[in-house]
Amino acid sequence: MTNDNEFRNSMDALVVDSARTLTGNANINLDDDFFDAGGNSITAIRLARTLSEELGTGADVRVVFRNPVLRDLSEALGRQGGQAATGAGQA
């Protein structure tokens, strides 16, 4: 179950919720490594596709491999312009 208090913004929530769904691991949190928490190359591709569709960006699987810790992945996606798509950082 998602605890909204652990997320800094909607990007964090999207990344963690997507990782939880794709791995079937409800205990994943923002500081977990996607691969250590049950992800593999196939779920990484699915995660990148899901995030790309949700954000309307060109999120590539390489961003998942380069940023396996979900907090880092969220930040990398934010730098790619996902913040505008999720409203992250807006007051």
Domain boundaries along the sequence of the chain: 4-86
Q: Which amino acid is at 62?
A: R
How confident is the model over 51-88, as pLDDT tens digits?
999 999 888 999 999 999 999 999 999 988 744 444 44
4-86 has CATH 1.10.150.130 classification: no
- Whether 6 has a pLDDT exceeding 70, the answer reads yes
- Contact (Cβ atoms closer than 8 angstroms) between residue 18 and residue 47: yes
pLDDT at 52: 94
pTM, two decimal places:
0.81
How confident is the model over 25-61, as pLDDT tens digits?
999 999 999 999 999 999 999 999 999 999 998 889 9
